[in-house]
Amino acid sequence: MPIPNATPSSPRLHLVADDEDHSGCRALLQVLDRIGDKWTVMVVGTLARGPMRFNAIQRAINGISHRMLTLTLRGLERDGMVERRAFATIPPKVEYELTPLGRSLIAPLDTLMGWAQENRPTIEQAQTGYDGRPQGD
Amino acid sequence: MPIPNATPSSPRLHLVADDEDHSGCRALLQVLDRIGDKWTVMVVGTLARGPMRFNAIQRAINGISHRMLTLTLRGLERDGMVERRAFATIPPKVEYELTPLGRSLIAPLDTLMGWAQENRPTIEQAQTGYDGRPQGD
DNA sequence: CCGCATCCGATATGATACTG
DNA sequence: CAGTATCATATCGGATGCGG
């Protein structure tokens, strides 16, 4: 076991380490399966400001359908990232809120977003070069 | 300012910050569109060990089809994350290697993987609880 | 207001075979 | 060995309508 201290924030490169099987990679894929869809990140980002009602979330995201918001929230709720509180009033009122687990996801997501913002120009430049490149080159 | 905790290692929580439009969120979604598919992360993780030939990658990943590996590598190449070097020998030999841009993605990906590994038990526990919960509870 | 079911098109993935 | 094309299928996401 070549890992002396199990500090959570230790900067080991799990993705590259070959001391273990691809268990870390599989864990990453599990998470990407969750947040890699079209709306989950947007919903998490919206709920990061605080509890919000269903229609408020839908208005905030603008483009998400009624159905997909329901499904996305269900998935997040199932994973323990979002808590749902329904009030049996007329009309009904349902509030959604990020759990501590859900909030803890924001930091790593933000790290990825920092990378995305920094490298977007480079990526788009590479894409343009690739698309404009003739076959024989 | 309803945001209590700002992680020391990240100057700003872009995902939550409301001073700008959702431009950061969009950048994040762009990246997730790329790496959020079924194989990209696995390919990046495999190439992280060094340059590798097409069939070597396919054998390393085990489960990926010929076609999907081709498409995944094409996408990564287009984004400037992978460089492709073809040798016109018989039989042909093609090597793929992570570019500096591709390697720079490993760190944020690793951050996310750390989160995934730490919280996988919590998530699975939440899923079990959710699935076993009767409607009336 | 919120949730669910149904239908339907778009897209992602996989199997297979052919080419250089 | 590496790449491409074609076909089949599964899943995703959107529109819509009904129910509580």
> Which residues from the 35-74 window of protein chain B have CB within 7 angstroms of nucleic acid chain D?
53-56, 66-67, 70, 73-74
pLDDT tens digit string along A22-31?
788 889 999 9
Residue A17: is its pLDDT beyond 70?
no
Structure tokens at A102: 């859900």
pLDDT tens digit string along B54-93?
999 999 999 999 999 999 999 999 999 999 999 999 999 9
Do B28 and A112 make contact, defined as CB atoms within 8 angstroms? Answer: yes
Rounded distance in angstroms from the CA atom of residue B72 to the C1' atom of nucleotide C20: 22
User: In A, which residues are within 8 Å of B30 by CB distance?
Assistant: 116, 120
- The pLDDT of A45-67, averaged and rounded, is 96
Residues 6+ apart with CB under 8 A from A26: none
Distance (Å) from the C-alpha of residue B36 to the closest C-alpha of chain A? 5
- The pLDDT of A25-53, averaged and rounded, is 94
* Longest alpha-carbon distance in chain A: 68
Rounded distance in angstroms from the CA atom of residue A14 to the C1' atom of nucleotide D4: 35
Residue B101: is its pLDDT beyond 70?
yes
**Nearest-angstrom CA–CA distance, B135 and B55:** 50
- Listing DSSP states for B18-68 in one string gives -SS-THHHHHHHHHHHHHTSSSHHHHHHHHTTS-EEHHHHHHHHSS--HHH
What's the pTM value of the predicted model, to 2 decimals? 0.87
- Listing DSSP states for A9-52 in one string gives T----TTT--SS-THHHHHHHHHHHHHTSSSHHHHHHHHTTS-E
Which A-chain residues 47-86 have CB contacts (< 8 A) with chain B?
48-50, 77-81
pLDDT tens digit string along B1-29?
444 444 444 445 567 665 466 788 889 99
* Closest by Cα among B46, B48, B84 to B63: B46
Residues 6+ apart with CB under 8 A from B31: A112, A113, A115, A116
Give the CA-trace dihedral at B46, B52, B58, B62, to 10 degrees. -40
Band (pLDDT 50/70/90 cuts) for residue A105 is: very high
pLDDT tens digit string along B22-58?
788 889 999 999 999 999 999 999 999 999 999 999 9
Containing H/E element for B95? Answer: strand B93-98
Lowest mean pLDDT across A18-32, A97-111, B37-51, B121-135: A18-32
Nearest CB to B106; choose among A13, A18, A129: A13
Band (pLDDT 50/70/90 cuts) for residue A2 is: very low
Q: How many residue pairs from chains A and B have C-beta atoms closer than 8 A?
A: 188
**Nearest-angstrom CA–CA distance, B129 and A19:** 33
**Nearest-angstrom CA–CA distance, B96 and B20:** 38
**Nearest-angstrom CA–CA distance, A28 and A25:** 5
| Cα atoms found within 13 Å of the Cα of residue B47, Cβ hemisphere only | 31
Protein contacts of strand C with Cβ less than 7 Å away: A 53-55, 66-67, 70, 73-74, 84, 86, 91-94; B 37-39, 63-68, 71, 91-92
Band (pLDDT 50/70/90 cuts) for residue A7 is: very low
